[in-house]
Amino acid sequence: MKTPLNILVVEDSKDDAELLLRAVKQAGYEASYSLVQNAKAMSSELGRKSWDLVISDYVIPGFGGLAALKVLQESGLEIPFIIVSGKIGEDVAVEALHSGANDYLLKDRLTRLGPAIDRALKEASQKRKRSQAEQALRESEERYRRLVESCPDAMFITSDNTIVFANPAAVSLLNAASPIDLVGKSILEFTDANFRDLVEEHLRQALEGLDGPLLEEKMLRTDGTAVMVEAIARRINYHGDPAVQVLCRDISTRKHFEAQLLNSQKMEAIARLAGGVANDFNNLLTVITGYSGLIRSGLQPEHPLQKDIQQVIQSTERAIGLTNQLLALSRKEVAAPEALNLNVVLDQILPLVRRLMGENIETVANIPNVSCHIRADRGQLETVIINLAAHARDSMLHGGQLTLTTENLKLSRALHNQVHLRPGEYILLTIADTGLGLTEEYQEHLFEPFFGTTQPGKNTGLGLATVYAIVKQHGGQISCISEVGKGSVFKIYFPAHKPSQRETVTPPIRTATGGRQPVVLLAEDEEVLREFANLILRKHGFHVLTARDGTEALRLADQFDGQVDVLFTDVVMPKMNGTELYKHFTQKHPNTPVIFTSGYPRNILIESGLEDRPDYEFLQKPYTTQNLIDKIREVISLHRPSGS
The phi, psi pair for 572, rounded to 5°, reads -95, 110
Q: What is the mean pLDDT of residues 25-33?
A: 87
Confidence band of 644 (pLDDT split at 50, 70, 90): very low
Q: Is residue 84 within 8 Å of residue 58, measured between CB atoms? A: yes
- Inform me whether the pLDDT recorded for 403 exceeds 90: yes
Confidence band of 99 (pLDDT split at 50, 70, 90): confident
Q: What is the mean pLDDT of residues 53-65?
A: 88
CA nearest to 198, candidates 184, 214, 183, 185: 214
Please tell me the predicted confidence (pLDDT) of residue 81.
Answer: 92
Confidence band of 173 (pLDDT split at 50, 70, 90): very high
Please tell me the predicted confidence (pLDDT) of residue 288.
Answer: 82
Confidence band of 472 (pLDDT split at 50, 70, 90): confident
SS3 of 198, please? helix
Please tell me the predicted confidence (pLDDT) of residue 519.
Answer: 92
Confidence band of 108 (pLDDT split at 50, 70, 90): confident
Question: What is the percent of the chain where pLDDT is above 70?
Answer: 88
Residues contacting 59, CB < 8 A, separation 6+: 65, 85, 86
- Inform me whether the pLDDT recorded for 508 exceeds 90: no
Give the Cα separation of 592 and 258 in Å (integer): 50
Please tell me the predicted confidence (pLDDT) of residue 506.
Answer: 35
Mean pLDDT over each residue of the chain, to the nearest integer: 83
Please tell me the predicted confidence (pLDDT) of residue 454.
Answer: 43
Please tell me the predicted confidence (pLDDT) of residue 349.
Answer: 84
Least confident range from 167-181, 462-476, 552-566, 587-601: namely 462-476
Please tell me the predicted confidence (pLDDT) of residue 13.
Answer: 86
What 8-state DSSP symbol labels residue 62? T
Give the Cα separation of 365 and 18 in Å (integer): 109
Confidence band of 321 (pLDDT split at 50, 70, 90): low
Please tell me the predicted confidence (pLDDT) of residue 425.
Answer: 92
Please tell me the predicted confidence (pLDDT) of residue 187.
Answer: 93
- Inform me whether the pLDDT recorded for 495 exceeds 90: yes
Please tell me the predicted confidence (pLDDT) of residue 614.
Answer: 65
- Inform me whether the pLDDT recorded for 448 exceeds 80: no
SS3 of 594, please? strand
- Inform me whether the pLDDT recorded for 229 exceeds 90: yes
Give the Cα separation of 19 and 281 in Å (integer): 119
Confidence band of 488 (pLDDT split at 50, 70, 90): very high
- Inform me whether the pLDDT recorded for 459 exceeds 70: no
- Inform me whether the pLDDT recorded for 589 exceeds 80: yes
Q: What is the mean pLDDT of residues 241-250?
A: 92
Give the Cα separation of 270 and 464 in Å (integer): 14
- Inform me whether the pLDDT recorded for 325 exceeds 70: no
Q: Ranked by mean pLDDT, which of 27-41, 146-160, 412-426 comes out on top?
A: 27-41
Please tell me the predicted confidence (pLDDT) of residue 171.
Answer: 92
**Is the bond preceding residue 518 a cis peptide, omega within 30 degrees?**
no
DSSP H/E element including 614: none
- Inform me whether the pLDDT recorded for 94 exceeds 60: yes
- Inform me whether the pLDDT recorded for 461 exceeds 80: no
Comparison of pLDDT for 191 and 316, the residue scoring more: 191
Q: Is 559 exposed, middle or buried (CB count within 10 Å of its CB: 0-12, 13-18, 19+)?
A: exposed
Whole-angstrom CA distances from 608 to 571, 580, 634 are: 9, 9, 26
Question: What is the percent of the chain where pLDDT is above 90?
Answer: 26
- Inform me whether the pLDDT recorded for 285 exceeds 60: yes
- Inform me whether the pLDDT recorded for 248 exceeds 90: yes
Please tell me the predicted confidence (pLDDT) of residue 271.
Answer: 66
Comparison of pLDDT for 501 and 304, the residue scoring more: 304
Please tell me the predicted confidence (pLDDT) of residue 221.
Answer: 92
